[in-house]
Amino acid sequence: MCNQQTIPLGSRSTRQCALSALINTSAALAILLAPRWSAGASPAFDSAADPAYNFNPANGTGWAAGSNGGFGWGGPWEYFNTPTGFPLGFVGSSTTNGTGDLDNDGDINTPRNASGRAWGLTARPATDQTGEGETAATRMLNGPLSVGQTFKIDMDNGVVADPVLSGGRPFPGAVGWSLRGGGEQFGLEATGDSPHYFLLGGSTQLDSGIPLTYEGLRCEFTLLPAVLPFTNGWIMKVTPLSPGAQTYTFTGARVGAPIELVVGDSGGGLDPANAVYFNNISVGDVPEPGAVGVVGAGAALLLRRRRRATQGATAGRT
């Protein structure tokens, strides 16, 4: 069993990187136009192994707007008003990014071997002439998460680009996922200029202290009922898929309930080693014993705010 580290969220971060802006923008329209459900999210599951993501020679990919594998979701994969059939990303092996699959466990593929599949994204790194590229995909839940429901996703980032532009100005890429709703976002992000992942926790974005890995992570996000010290709470568990890795547990307060998944890549790089992969998304009623107790117990450590290396690092970003 993995050790667990419980870290309650600290104060608000004012940083909002390009990926967060992309996630905010791509989710806003879909949430605005989405139907209003009176019940919680339906049980749901999907993976890149579903035949819905088999290669389509007509568009050169297996993952496109309108792809609708799995069951229980509120609709197919989309991105704004991208026409049906337009590529969102690609389907490939998550073992090919970063430094490869050093422990030969298949990373986040389905099935868990080098021949398995996951959904992949790449995006052009920033240059003085073009700025950074952005790719993203969104999927609605079939209703907002309700108390006790858990959303799960696997993510495997590669080497995130960290170019330095003219004048020595750094412009790091960013990749990650987010659950959106009620003006809040919850998720995880990797950037090219940090050795740690950043946690998106409602209205905060803070250094999680989790070291970057190229072997993938499993993320589990659960809504909690009103319990001290939070009026309404949440708990997120992040487990690196490396031998002997510990599980990191984060808790915090929330206002509403998320209803949409967004995955994105903002300037992360175009090489196979740069690709970010996602897989095994699900919604289920699987509250864990003692989860409420973890929230009530609290802990001594606060997440560290992210500090930019230079003032110019945020130039040109929103």
Lowest mean pLDDT among 23-27, 79-83, 146-150: 23-27
* Residue scoring higher pLDDT (36 or 123): 123
- Distance in angstroms (rounded) separating the CA atoms of residues 109 and 113: 6
Lowest mean pLDDT among 31-35, 80-84, 230-234: 31-35
Q: How many CB atoms lie within 10 A of CB 233?
A: 24
Provide the pLDDT for residue 301: 23
Kindly report, residue by residue over 265-292, the tens digit of the pLDDT. Answer: 999 999 999 999 999 999 998 544 443 3
93 and 118 Cβ atoms separated by less than 8 Å: yes
- Distance in angstroms (rounded) separating the CA atoms of residues 145 and 259: 6
233 and 227 Cβ atoms separated by less than 8 Å: yes
Token match 């969220």: residue? Answer: 9
Provide the pLDDT for residue 229: 63
State the amino acid at position 147 in one-letter form: V
Lowest mean pLDDT among 36-40, 55-59, 196-200: 36-40
Torsion angle, CA of 306/25/151/273, rounded to 10 degrees?
A: -60
Residue-by-residue DSSP string for 127-172: -TTT---EEEEEEEBSS---TT-EEEEEEE-------EEGGGEE--
- Distance in angstroms (rounded) separating the CA atoms of residues 287 and 146: 11
Provide the pLDDT for residue 294: 36
| Phi, psi for residue 171 in degrees, rounded to 5 | -145, 75
Provide the pLDDT for residue 286: 53
Encoding tokens for residue 239? 């487990």
Say if residue 40's pLDDT is above 60.
yes
Kindly report, residue by residue over 200-231, the tens digit of the pLDDT. Answer: 998 788 999 999 999 999 999 999 987 666 67
Q: Is residue 311 very low, low, confident or very high in pLDDT (cuts 50, 70, 90)?
A: very low
Provide the pLDDT for residue 145: 95
Say if residue 151's pLDDT is above 70.
yes
Average pLDDT of span 38-60: 92
Torsion angle, CA of 182/247/240/190, rounded to 10 degrees?
A: 40
Provide the pLDDT for residue 308: 28
Q: Is residue 261 very low, low, confident or very high in pLDDT (cuts 50, 70, 90)?
A: very high
Provide the pLDDT for residue 256: 86
Kindly report, residue by residue over 119-144, the tens digit of the pLDDT. Answer: 999 999 999 998 899 999 999 999 99
Say if residue 15's pLDDT is above 50.
no
